[in-house]
Amino acid sequence: MAQHRLVLCTQDRIIAPVVQRVWATIRQEAAAVAAREPVLARLIDEQILRHDCFAESLIAVIARRLAVPAFDEWTLSDVIRDVLDVDLGIVAAAATDLQAIRDRDPACPDQLTPLLYFKGYQALQAHRIAHRLWLQNKIHLARHMQSRVSEVFGVDIHPAAQMGNGILIDHATGLVIGETAVVEDDVSILQGVTLGGTGKECGDRHPKIRRGVLLGAGATVLGNIEVGEGAKIGAGSIVLSSIEAYTTAVGVPARSVGPKLTQPASMTMEQGMPALSTGK
């Protein structure tokens, strides 16, 4: 086991500079919190300070949240470790997601906070593990992970759904993402979003969310349609047809409003809507 962890941490150090930057920052922040709030020192030590690399810390955080008596923390840690040995890109994606949250969420004071406490972040990283298990044809293990994420975090992402890097899932409660959905890099998603199908059709039936999209709270996107790069979907909107790039869409059903956006909506996190025309 110790040798297994050594190999993983050695790989962790060489896969991407972002991982090392994030890990160094997290350790500094964790040490400061442990010193300032001693009652949390054991928690901080078990999940951060006793580990030699970001990958092992990430394993500890996910396993602690999702373990059950019949599939305990140690067994789940070994399963996750085996996945990361095969796909260390998951570790780089997890580090990139942390940076995205720090950059876009005004309620996030540091990089330690989402790692330890933000269920949207933790649910996304657990999904990445489940997705790799799905690709390895470990279907029931992947579904077990999905089920535990749904139970613990209130987030339901099918293990086959494809998620990019640099994703912010803010608040996360009530998020549902279907089997053939694709969410590209740098997307921001608020609570209560559904990326679903339109009925009982089979095959490719879920939305494709392109890079830099912002999906407002309670937005519903249904069917094999595309939300173009940099677009903004207003809170509570229901999208039933494709939305062009850098467009704001709002309403039930959603329609395009206002001028074209000049920046990806996910980066500005500006959720205000242009004034709707009254038709007069």
Q: Name the strand (E) or helix (H) holding 16.
A: none
194-197-200-203 Cα dihedral, nearest 10 degrees: -130
Bond into 253 cis (ω within 30): yes
pLDDT of res. 279: 46
Residue range 240-261: mean pLDDT, rounded: 97
Number of H helices, E strands in the chain: 10, 15
Model pLDDT for residues 48-72, shown as the tens digit of each residue: 999 999 999 999 999 999 999 999 9
pLDDT of res. 280: 39
C-alpha closest to that of 237 among 252, 225, 217: 252
- In a domain, residue 35? The reply is yes
- Residue ranges making up the domain that contains 61: 1-154
Model pLDDT for residues 9-30, shown as the tens digit of each residue: 765 555 578 899 999 999 999 9
- In a domain, residue 10? The reply is yes
b/e 144-154 (16+ beta carbons within 10 angstroms → b): bbbebbeeebb
pLDDT over 60 (residue 278): no
0.75 exceeded by pTM:
yes
Domain count, the chain: 2
Which of 246 and 87 is assigned the larger pLDDT? Answer: 246
Q: Which of 154, 188, 216 is the last residue of a domain?
A: 154
- Together in a domain, 129 and 217: no
Q: What amino acid occupies position 81?
A: R
Residue range 195-219: mean pLDDT, rounded: 96
The whole-angstrom separation of Cα 251 and Cα 129 is: 35
SS3 content of the chain, % helix, strand, coil (to 5): 45, 15, 40
- Together in a domain, 5 and 138: yes
Q: What is the mean pLDDT of the chain?
A: 93
pLDDT over 70 (residue 8): no
